[in-house]
Structures are given as structure tokens and as C-alpha cells.
């Protein structure tokens, strides 16, 4: 074999290996993880205990697609599969905590309100949980039955407010 042919074959091998590694690249998704955000820790800590999120349960048991939580800047669901790389919520919803409230504060709505990380996460989870519970109640024989999806602070933030 001549030198040019060897270099061409080696180059093709390197490109092939790179392509295969890109196909296998992605994120390992833990079954359950605490929704901790380093930006809160750096700013003095979370106000309430981080929520233990059951990724596997939501995806496999409840058949929730990735796009029901992960969306683009217009709120449109992203077409993802388990293990795809995704941006963290805080990268777009980049204001820590909840939107300011109270006397003299501008009441924020929609996209402006969801700039605040806690507002966006709560809106996403609670809206979905309420819809799930409504469907659950329709199908339940006991019309007073409550759905299994938590919608109150203490049901998600199981350890409550963090004392500092």
C-alpha cells in the first residue's frame, strides 16, 4: 500500500469513529434526581428543599414525552428522545426565585413572569399535575378521589423550608 492510501484509510477510520461517538453521545438520565440548581447554591441556597424528580416514572409509567417538559423559547415541545442533551431550565429561565410580588411591584404575566426560574418550573409541573389529576378523577369510580400527582408545596418539597 502506498503512503497516500494509508493516510486516506486512517482518516476515514478517524471520521467514522467520530461519527459513531456522536451518535452515542448524550446524557445519562438518572431514574430519580434532586432538582438542585447550582446557581441557587452559589446565591445562598434554595429556599425550599429541592424536589426529588422521578424521571423514569414520568417517562415510562406515565408515558410523558420529553417535549412535555423540555420546550423551545416559544413554548413549543422539543422532539427529543431519552438521553438527548438538553439545556437546563435555568439557562433560559435565568432569574432566580419567584417574581416579585406585593404592593408597588409590577404584576408580571406570561413569558415575563416565567423568566423567573421558580415560576417557570412551578407553572410547568403544577399545570401538568392538575390536568393529570382531572383526567384521573374523570376515570375514577369514586368521584371524590384525588389524583396522585402532587400540587401542593409540601407534597413536592417534602423536607419543607430550609432553615438558614
Instruction: Tell me the binding residues for heme c.
Output: 55, 58, 66, 69-71, 92-93, 125, 128-129, 153, 156-157
Question: What's the grid cell of residue 136?
Answer: 384521573
Give the integer Cα–Cα distance in Å for 125 and 51: 11
Q: Are 136 and 148 in contact (CB under 8 A)?
A: yes
Give the integer Cα–Cα distance in Å for 134 and 156: 18
> 3-class DSSP state for residue 33?
strand
Of 144, 164, 160, give the one whose Cα is nearest residue 152: 160
The CB density around residue 149, as the number of other CB atoms within 10 Å, is 20
> 3-class DSSP state for residue 129?
helix
Place of cell 420529553: 66
Q: Are 29 and 82 in contact (CB under 8 A)?
A: yes
Residues of the binding site: 55, 58, 66, 69-71, 92-93, 125, 128-129, 153, 156-157
Amino acid at each position: 500500500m502506498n503512503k497516500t492510501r494509508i493516510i486516506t484509510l486512517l482518516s476515514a477510520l478517524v471520521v467514522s469513529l467520530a461519527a459513531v461517538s456522536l451518535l452515542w453521545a448524550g446524557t445519562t438520565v438518572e431514574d430519580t434526581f434532586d432538582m438542585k440548581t447550582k446557581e441557587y447554591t452559589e446565591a445562598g441556597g434554595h429556599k425550599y428543599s429541592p424536589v426529588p424528580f422521578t424521571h423514569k416514572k414520568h417517562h415510562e409509567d406515565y408515558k410523558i414525552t420529553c417535549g412535555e417538559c423540555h420546550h423551545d423559547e416559544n413554548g413549543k415541545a422539543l422532539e427529543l428522545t431519552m438521553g438527548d442533551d438538553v439545556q437546563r431550565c435555568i439557562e433560559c429561565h435565568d432569574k432566580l426565585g419567584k417574581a416579585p410580588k406585593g404592593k408597588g411591584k409590577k404584576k408580571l404575566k406570561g413569558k415575563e413572569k416565567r423568566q423567573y426560574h421558580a415560576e417557570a418550573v412551578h407553572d410547568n409541573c403544577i399545570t401538568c399535575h392538575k390536568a393529570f389529576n382531572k383526567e384521573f378523577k374523570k376515570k375514577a369510580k369514586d368521584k371524590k378521589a384525588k389524583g396522585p400527582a402532587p400540587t401542593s408545596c409540601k407534597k413536592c418539597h417534602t423536607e419543607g423550608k430550609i432553615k438558614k
